[in-house]
Chains A and B, each alone.
Chain A
Amino acid sequence: DAGVIQSPRHEVTEMGQEVTLRCKPISGHNSLFWYRQTMMRGLELLIYFNNNVPIDDSGMPEDRFSAKMPNASFSTLKIQPSEPRDSAVYFCASSFLRGGSGYEQYFGPGTRLTVT
């Protein structure tokens, strides 16, 4: 399997512009997570989906952020309008339940977003 795929890997945009980050989870994984990582705040969960349905979006910072999962193989995280404080690395992860253990999350390579 190719693992979790994210695009783009790097995004540089100007304040006020719309940004769309994309994710393809591992086939067969039922859940998908969006995280944001910064030096100051560490790894933060923004939202997660189970079977394409948003389960917990309590980490979404504000209305400028939205996420969708139209089908089992694709999700987007959109920021509109973007602000410099949104600069971070955004990770997508998907998970499956390993019997007798727990839900194992597999992370993508991340998208480094810079908003100037």
Chain B
Amino acid sequence: QQQVKQSPQSLIVQKGGISIINCAYENTAFDYFPWYQQFPGKGPALLIAIRPDVSEKKEGRFTISFNKSAKQFSLHIMDSQPGDSATYFCAASNFGNEKLTFGTGTRLTIIP
């Protein structure tokens, strides 16, 4: 029940296209959903996060969409750029609990 399932495992998108990564969870107590971005040789970095009181959060070209009834959330990268090529991890936690449950990661490649 603690798992967060992430898909796809890898994704190739053309420059300028929309990249979409999906995550699903089972634990209904989860109420904080961050996304992390990791470049090769670096640690994961917090990208954007959402709480379930809103269905969408947008920061620049990055948007989280959240569907509480389906227990799913997704990351959308608009106008994808080669510099967005990285591994993306979704995560979840209970508010008040610092421990994050991470998805397995999606390796995103943006091709010219």
A residues in contact (CB < 8 Å) with B: 4, 31, 33, 42-43, 45, 48, 50, 56, 91, 93, 95, 100-110
Q: Is the interface of B mostly helix, strand, loop or mixed?
A: loop
- Give Cα distance in the complex from A107 to B46, angstroms: 9
Q: Is the CB of B104 within 8 A of A103?
A: no
Report A8 CB to chain B, min CB distance, Å.
14
Contacts of A42 on B, CB cut-off 8 Å?
A: 102, 104-105
Q: Is the CB of B34 within 8 A of A102?
A: yes
Q: Is the CB of B49 within 8 A of A104?
A: yes
Instruction: Return the contact of B49 from the options A48, A95, A102, A110 (Cβ within 8 A).
Output: A102
- Give Cα distance in the complex from A100 to B95, angstroms: 10
Q: Is the CB of A45 within 8 A of B99?
A: yes
30 contacts between A and B (CB under 8 A): A42-B105, A43-B44, A43-B89, A45-B99, A45-B100, A48-B98, A56-B99, A91-B43, A100-B51, A101-B49, A102-B32, A102-B34, A102-B49, A102-B93, A102-B95, A103-B32, A103-B98, A103-B100, A104-B49, A105-B46, A105-B98, A105-B100, A106-B45, A106-B46, A107-B43, A107-B45, A108-B43, A109-B41, A109-B42, A110-B43
Report A67 CB to chain B, min CB distance, Å.
15
Interface hub of A50, A104, A105 (most chain B Cβ within 10 A): A105
In the complex, which range does the number of interface residues on chain B fall in?
20 to 34
Q: Given A106-B46, A107-B45, A110-B43, A101–B98 Cβ distance below 8 Å?
A: no
Contacts A31-B98, A103-B100 supplied; 16 other A-B pairs, CB < 8 Å: A4-B43, A42-B104, A43-B44, A43-B89, A43-B102, A48-B98, A91-B44, A95-B98, A101-B32, A101-B49, A102-B49, A103-B32, A103-B98, A105-B46, A106-B45, A109-B42
